[in-house]
Chains A and B, each alone.
Chain A
Amino acid sequence: MRLVGRQRRTVGAFTSLFESEYRPLLRIAYGLTGSQAEAEELVQEAFIRCYQRWDTVESYDNPGAWLRRVLLNLATSRGRRLATEVRALTKLGSRRSRDHIGPDEAGPGDEVFWAAVRRLPRRQAQAVVLYYGDDLPTDGVARVMRCAEGTVRALLHQARTGLAKVLDPEEQS
């Protein structure tokens, strides 16, 4: 199949974005889900939506921020779906809880930390994954999360406080 000039440019630009952003997005998704398989599914879904809207996305200053925002929405929706399924599958004395979802065996280092992050309120967890996991500055996190930079700082502060209670035995006592 021969590609005309515009199609070739589209595929080329999309491939370039895909290759540069796939791994970082996969790590964000992993931080939010704790499952490599789920993370791969979410990232590919984000890129599918990106390609479907490529004419618009291509014109953005920072398509990576748009991809991250789509990814956060997809991860949120996934969490809601899983919670729904948990509720739908509830049985007396036998319940599939969100704690049992992931992580995969061969994930990145401090799994205890990321598992604790996933138990935070959703916006706090997103801020932590983007700030610490994706190494975005606070204004970059704010851009992705569509909120004020001060809100990101507050979310990170709340997240650290929440994580300390879980991860620091002295804090609990």
Chain B
Amino acid sequence: MIDLDQRAREAGAGLRAWDPSTPLPAASAVATRAVRRTRRHRAAAGTALLGAVAGIGLMWAGLRQDGDTVRTGSVTTATTDPAPPLTTMPDRSPSTSVVPETTTPSTPVGPSGPGPTVRECTGELGGVSYEVSLPEGWYVNAAQDGVPACSLFGPEPVEANLAPAEADTPSVHSNAVVWFSDPYPSSPPSETFDERMTLDVNQPNVVDSQRTTIDGRPAVRIEGTTTPGDNHLGGEPYVVWHIDLGSTELWATANAQGVSYEEAVTAVDAIVHSLRFTD
């Protein structure tokens, strides 16, 4: 049996003795980056404020032109990101049904019954139960070891194969287009949801982010591009939803497998907006 403490001390000494080959960057260069970023943020904040003022002005002008007509609606502020939206977002009104109503009765998904006639399913992540509506003709997974029911969705019958366990995220291979997952299955985060999201939305690869609520729970939708990795060049777009479940989060992501990226994003947005938490 090895002396783990001793090995850890030796590994720690090795780490402290490590002398990276790259020279120490200049502190002034880092300070300059900080100053430039601060100026950019201030300029962006000014642009957003101008956009808000312009929006109010246009709305006021419209009210005056229409005489007695009363217009209602929110004033949108200009986004500071020049990139166009990747896809049209579905209506986010909670009263709007994302999935068209049909006469097919709702069928809870059981271990043996997912299929194209299923319109709704119920699942559970992080101790929180939820119901979700499926796009018409879509399939959903049944429960199996390591993969909870109602967490994988796709236009084809969903397959899920477990791979050897990794660090703190179960390794699942699947042809699903939309995935629900719990990013903290074993260790609850110490930061608040808001603190985590503040960090996430400020990552350099984030293209756009929106804070909202899903069935009353705080949620953030992030669009980003992947960073270069060993199996890909990076730069691929992705969307992830973070929904606050209290002790953990529900992540919903889209994978363009057998569908276009735009279709995958539309699907994940629709499925997320259909979520109803039952706890």
**How far, in angstroms, from A36 to B15 measured CA to CA in the complex?**
12
Contacts of B199 in A (CB 8 A): 73-74, 76-77
**How far, in angstroms, from A120 to B11 measured CA to CA in the complex?**
16
Partner of A89, one of B21, B25, B174, B255: B255
Contact A23–B231 (Cβ < 8 Å): no
Interface of chain B residues 14 through 55 with chain A (CB within 8 A): 14-18, 20-22, 24-25, 27-28, 30-31, 33-35, 37-38
A113 at the interface (CB under 8 A from B): yes
**How far, in angstroms, from A56 to B193 measured CA to CA in the complex?**
24
B61 at the interface (CB under 8 A from A): no
A: contact size bracket: 35 or more
Contact B168–A122 (Cβ < 8 Å): yes
**How far, in angstroms, from A106 to B14 measured CA to CA in the complex?**
13
B166 at the interface (CB under 8 A from A): yes
- Identify the stretch in B80-88, B113-121, B134-142, B221-229 within 8 Å (CB) of chain A at 4 or more residues: B221-229
**How far, in angstroms, from A88 to B239 measured CA to CA in the complex?**
8
Q: Which one of A91, A114, A120 has the greatest number of beta carbons of chain B within 10 Å?
A: A91
Partner of A146, one of B8, B186, B190: B190
Contacts of B190 in A (CB 8 A): 123, 145-147
**How far, in angstroms, from A86 to B190 measured CA to CA in the complex?**
23
Contact B238–A11 (Cβ < 8 Å): no
B5 at the interface (CB under 8 A from A): yes
Partner of A19, one of B18, B27, B174: B27
B12 at the interface (CB under 8 A from A): yes
Contact A97–B166 (Cβ < 8 Å): yes
Interface of chain B residues 161 through 177 with chain A (CB within 8 A): 163, 166-169, 171, 173-175
Contact A95–B4 (Cβ < 8 Å): no
Known contacts A81-B224, A100-B229; decide if A11 and B186 are in contact (CB<8 Å).
no
A-B contact pairs, 16 of them (CB 8 A): A11-B31, A18-B30, A49-B34, A51-B31, A73-B191, A76-B191, A77-B196, A82-B227, A85-B227, A87-B181, A88-B255, A96-B230, A109-B14, A110-B11, A124-B187, A163-B8
Give the interface of A toward B (CB within 8 A).
Answer: 11, 14-15, 18-19, 22-24, 26-27, 30-31, 36, 40, 44, 47-49, 51-52, 73-74, 76-78, 80-101, 106-110, 113-114, 118-124, 128, 131-135, 145-147, 160, 163-164, 167-168, 170-171
User: Given contacts A14-B31, A120-B167, could you give 7 more A-B pairs where the C-beta distance is less than 8 Å?
Assistant: A14-B27, A44-B33, A73-B195, A81-B205, A90-B174, A110-B11, A132-B11
Give the interface of B toward A (CB within 8 A).
Answer: 1-2, 4-5, 7-12, 14-18, 20-22, 24-25, 27-28, 30-31, 33-35, 37-38, 159, 163, 166-169, 171, 173-175, 179, 181, 183, 186-187, 189-191, 195-196, 199-200, 203, 205, 222, 224, 226-227, 229-232, 236, 238-240, 251, 253-255, 257
